[in-house]
Amino acid sequence: MLKYLATLILPITFCLNAFSQDITDEAVLLPGPSEWRYERIAFPIDFAPELDYNGYEELRFSPGMFKTYSDDFFSYAFAFKLDSISNFGQGDLRELLNGYYSGLTKSMSKGRRRYDPNDITVFVIKSPQEGRYTVKLNLVQYFTKRRRRLALNLDVMTFTREGDTYVYATASPLPVGAPERINLEKLISNDL
Sequential pLDDT tens for the chain (192 residues)? 444 433 333 344 344 444 444 445 588 999 888 889 999 999 999 999 999 999 999 999 999 888 888 888 888 999 999 999 999 999 999 999 999 998 888 887 776 666 677 778 999 999 999 999 999 998 877 665 556 677 888 899 999 999 999 999 999 988 888 877 877 777 776 654
C-alpha separations of 123 from 47, 147, 160 in Å: 21, 22, 22
For residue 173, the model assigns a pLDDT of: 87
Helix (H) or strand (E) holding 4: helix 2-19
173 touches 74 (CB < 8 A): yes
Q: CB within 8 A of 9, min separation 6: which ones?
A: none
For residue 174, the model assigns a pLDDT of: 86
Residues spanned by the domain of 165: 2-189
Helix, strand, coil in percent for the chain, rounding step 5: 25, 30, 45
For residue 177, the model assigns a pLDDT of: 82
Number of domains in the chain: 1
User: How many Å from the N-terminal Cα to the C-terminal Cα in the chain?
Assistant: 39
